[in-house]
């Protein structure tokens, strides 16, 4: 895709997989793992090596946020201002900073969480929270047989990132795009993904 390998991070989506399997992939040099459930992430974080970067990629309930403080490298799934306020509250209580991505429902699917592309004013509000740093955007594209069908959604997310950066909002300089899964990660990389979330593959 004409990009440096270092510009794209493979997130090994380890949800539902046993620790023994994670150790096998760890031995292959993978250090970035993605989990969908808080309890699973915290249990694995406790027993696995400390140089692993844990990413919370699933829908996050507000009452579970405090369990992630000090354990998670990125929260990809910040899908509401209410959730961001809870993250601010719980991370501030332990004097920690939360590194997040804003989840965007770029295909406008009713079954998906996330801000709609036109709701980006929320980013201004979240960016003002002192214990939160916004690093970029995340989307879960529709499940399709032909990955080319998702190219438009990946392209639109990249365009949204560029547009938001151009607004020069205080504390917002975003560079990360978490998009693309097993079926369509190659198209996502061509369209600028910096994180691909591969589980099934």
- pLDDT tens for 89-117 read 999 999 999 999 999 999 999 999 999 99
* pTM attached to this predicted model: 0.96
Q: Is the pLDDT of residue 171 over 90?
A: no
Q: How far apart are CA 134 and CA 149, in angstroms?
A: 28
pLDDT bucket at 73, cuts 50 / 70 / 90:
very high
| pLDDT at position 6 | 95
54 close to 71: Cβ distance less than 8 angstroms: yes
């Amino acid at each position: 895709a004409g990009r440096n390998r270092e510009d794209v991070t493979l997130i090994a989506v380890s949800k539902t997989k046993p620790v023994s399997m994670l150790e096998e992939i760890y031995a292959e040099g993978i250090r970035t793992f993605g989990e969908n459930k808080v309890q699973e992430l915290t249990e694995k974080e406790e027993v696995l090596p400390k140089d692993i970067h844990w990413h919370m990629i699933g829908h996050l309930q507000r009452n579970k946020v405090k369990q992630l403080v000090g354990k998670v490298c990125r929260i990809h799934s910040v899908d509401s201002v209410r959730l961001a306020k809870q993250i601010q509250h719980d991370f501030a209580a332990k004097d920690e900073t939360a590194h997040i991505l804003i989840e965007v429902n770029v295909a406008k699917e009713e079954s998906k969480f996330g801000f709609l592309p036109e709701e980006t004013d929320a980013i201004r509000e979240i960016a003002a929270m002192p214990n939160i740093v916004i690093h970029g955007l995340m989307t879960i594209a529709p499940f399709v047989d032909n990955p080319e069908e998702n190219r438009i959604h990946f392209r639109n997310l990249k365009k949204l990132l560029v547009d938001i950066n151009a607004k020069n909002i205080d504390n917002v300089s975003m560079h990360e795009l978490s998009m693309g899964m097993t079926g369509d990660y190659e198209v996502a990389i061509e369209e600028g993904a910096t994180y691909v979330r591969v589980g099934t593959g």
